[in-house]
Amino acid sequence: MPTENFDVRYVAALVRLELTDEEASTYQQQLDKILDHMRRIDAIDVSGIEPTAHANPVFDVMREDEPGKSFSPETALRNAPKQRNDQFVVTKVVE
Amino acid sequence: MEIHSWSLKELQDHLRKGDLSPREAVEGLDAAVAERDPAVQAYLSRDLESALRLADEADVNLPLGGIPIAIKDVINVEGQPCTCSSKILEGAYLSPYNATAITKLRAAGAIPFGRTNMDEFAMGSSTENSGIQVTHNPWDPERIPGGSSGGSAAAVAADEAFAALGTDTGGSIRQPAALCGCVGLKPTYGRVSRYGLVAFASSLDQIGPITKTIEDSAMLLQAISGADPRDSTCLDKPVPDYTAALGKDLKGVRVGLPREYFAEGIDPQVKSAVEAAIEVLSSLGAEMVELSLPHTEPAIAVYYIIATAEASTNLARFDGVRYGHRTAAAEDLMTHYGRTRAEGFGPEVKRRIILGTYVLSSGYHDEYYLRAQKVRTLIREDFSKAFEKADVLLSPTSPTPAFRIGEKVDDPLQMYLADIFTIAANLAGICAISVPCGFANAESGITLPVGLQLLGPAFGEEALLRVAHAYEQATDWSSKKPPLAPAKSGA
C-alpha cells in the first residue's frame, strides 16, 4: 500500500519546501486521508487502456522558425529580486 | 444613470448610441466598485488611470469597444500586477507582457479593468485560499463566493463589473458563477489560448467569461477564442459567430440526464431547482434522454492526481530567482529554495505540490499518475458515448448552494468532493456552462442562487449557448440582483 509509505517531510524536500513541525503533522494527516480516497481508482480495470495526457490531443505542432521580438535585458530583469550586470543573482551554489 | 447594473450588451448599445462615453462608463463602474467593494472584496487592485487612458482612445464600433472587463489576477496584463492571490508574487511582480486573451480583448476594443481575487494559484473552490483577502458572496456576506474565480463572479453579481474573465481547471468558472448567480462558461480545451495564463494544471486550464447574461457570454467568448502560435495546444479551428446561436428554439434538441449526476448528496433545494429547469426545457421542445456516465465517482480522484501532478511541476518556477518573493535569510541554495517557497506559498498550494510530487515520484508514478491518466481515457469515452445520444448534458453545477466562510477549510477532502459535477468536463476537455436556475432559501430572508450546468461536446459551445439562452429567456432568474446590488433605476 503506497499510502503507508507517504512521508510528508521526504516529499517536501523533493519539492524544495521547508515545513514547520506543525505543518508537517497537519499535512501528513490530511494527505493520508486524501491519498486513501485516491486509491479508489485501484478498483477500476484499466488493462489495455491507453493513458490520456491531453484532452484534445494534437501532435507535432510546427511553426516557421523565424526570429521574433523578445524581452530586452532590462524587461527580463525588471522583476528579479536581485540582479547585477544584466544578470540574475543566485544564492551561492559551489563551496 | 445606474450604469453599473447594465449588461455588457446594454453598455455596448448605450456607448454606440452616444448616451455616454467610454470614460463615463469606466468612471461610473469605478464609483460602484468604490461603494460596494469594501463589503464584497472582489477586487485586489484596479488601475483607474490606465483604464481611463484606454477609454479615451476607445473605438466603440469595435466588437467590445470601450467596455471595461474585470480580469482574474492569474492572467498577465502588461504593466499590471499579477499576484495569483499569492504572497510569492504580491508586490514582487509586474507583468512584462499581455496574455493572448488580453491581446485579443484589446484588439476587440475592450478595456482591462481591475484584478479580481481568487484562490491562490486557482487552487480551491471557495476563494478562501487567497493569500491576500477573503471575498464575500454578494447574496450573503457570511458565505463564500465559490472559487477559484470567486472575485470575478462576486464582482459580476454585485454589479461591480459588466463582465469578467475567469479560469476553469476543475469548475473554477462555473461553480462561483453558480454560487453567485451569474453565467459562467468554460470553453473547450484548446478554444482559448493559455499563453500568459499562469499555469496551474496545463492539460486542464481554460480561460472563459463570467457574465450577467448568455448573450454577454457569447460576445466575450467570441473575442477571446481562436488559434495562437504561442500556445500549441490552442487548436486551429474556425471561430463561429456565437451570438448567431442565440434565439433559436429547442425543437429536436436532445438533453442528456446523466444518472450519476442526480444521485445522493445533492441539496434538496438544488435538486428541485434543477428538476424545474428540466420541465422548462421540455416545455420549450427539448427532448430528455436518460443516460449514464459510469466513471463519475472516480473522476475526483483522477482529477486531484492529475491536477496536483501538473501543479507541482508548474509551480517549480517560483524559485526566488527571476521574479517574486525571495527569502532574506539563505546561506545555501537548498535553504534559499525551501525557505522562499515556505514563506511565499499558502497551505493549499503546499498540500497540492507535495501531493503532486508524491504521485509523480519514483515507485508511485505508475500506481497513481499513470493509472489516473488511463481512467481519464475512460472518462473521455463515457462522454463520447453520451454525446452520441444527446446534444448537451444537464446537471446541477454544484451539489449545494454557497457554504459558510470557514465551514470546510480544515477538511480539504470535503472541499474536493464538492467539485464532483464540474471536474469531469476538464478531464474530458469538453465545454460547459453554468446558468442561474433558481434560489435556495437559507435562514430567514436569505436566498442563495442555484446554478444549472449544461455540458457540450468539444467545440460544442454553440449548442450550449443555444440551450442556455432559450432557458434564460423563458425564466427570469438572471434578472435577480443580490441585496448588495439593488435593481433600481434612476440616479
Q: What is the mean pLDDT of residues B216-245?
A: 96
CB burial of residue A75 (10 Å; 0-12, 13-18, 19+): exposed
* Band of pLDDT at residue A62, cut at 50, 70 and 90: confident
pLDDT top residue among B483 and B356: B356
Q: What is the mean pLDDT of residues A4-20?
A: 94
Could you report the per-residue pLDDT of B344-368, keeping only the tens digit for each? Answer: 999 999 999 999 999 999 899 999 9
Contact across the interface for B332 and A92, Cβ inside 8 Å: yes
Domain ranges of chain B: 3-294+376-479, 299-373
Q: What amino acid is encoded at B109 in this protein?
A: G
Q: What is the mean pLDDT of residues B360-377?
A: 95
- Is B232's Cβ below 8 Å from some Cβ in A? yes
Residue B211 confidence (pLDDT): 98
Cell of B144: 463564500
Chain B residues near residue A92 by CB distance under 8 angstroms? 331-333
Fold of B3-294+376-479: Amidase signature (AS) enzymes (3.90.1300)
Contact across the interface for B376 and A52, Cβ inside 8 Å: yes
Residue B491 confidence (pLDDT): 33
CB burial of residue A49 (10 Å; 0-12, 13-18, 19+): middle
Q: What is the mean pLDDT of residues B245-270?
A: 95
Checking if the pLDDT of B140 tops 50, the result is: yes
Residue in the block written with cell 476543475: B170
Q: Which of A10, A15, A21, A92 to mutate to test the interface with B (most CBs of B within 10 A)?
A: A15
* Nearest CB to B429 within list A40, A56, A90: A56
Helices (H), B57-149: 100-107
A with B: how many residue pairs have Cβ under 8 Å apart?
180
- Is B203's Cβ below 8 Å from some Cβ in A? yes
Residue A26 to chain B, least CA–CA distance (Å): 10
Contact across the interface for B337 and A16, Cβ inside 8 Å: yes
ipTM: 0.94
Task: Provide the 8-state DSSP code for B188.
Answer: P
Contact across the interface for B301 and A35, Cβ inside 8 Å: no
Cell of B351: 498540500
Residues 268-297 (B) with a CB less than 8 A from some CB of A: 295, 297
Cell of B416: 474536493
| DSSP H or E run through B245 | none
Of the ranges B42-51, B192-201, B479-488, which one carries the lowest mean pLDDT score?
A: B479-488
Could you tell me which residues come within 8 angstroms of residue B351 by beta carbon, excluding any fewer than 6 positions away? A27, A30, A31, B412
Could you report the per-residue pLDDT of B10-21, keeping only the tens digit for each? Answer: 999 999 999 999
Contact across the interface for A91 and B353, Cβ inside 8 Å: no
Of the ranges A56-70, B126-140, B368-382, B401-415, which one carries the lowest mean pLDDT score?
A: A56-70
Cell of B478: 438572471
Residue in the block written with cell 544584466: A86
Chain A residues near residue B304 by CB distance under 8 angstroms? 34, 38
Active-site residue list of B: 72, 148, 172
The chain A residue lying nearest B429, using CA atoms, is A55
> pLDDT exceeding 90 applies to what percent of chain B?
93
Rounded Cα gap, residues A34 and A30, in angstroms = 6
Q: DSSP E strands: which ranges in B169-237?
A: 183-186, 206-211
Residue B410 confidence (pLDDT): 87
Could you report the per-residue pLDDT of A43-52, keeping only the tens digit for each? Answer: 999 999 999 9
Max Cα separation, chain B?
70
Chain A residues near residue B342 by CB distance under 8 angstroms? 17-19
Mean pLDDT of chain A: 91
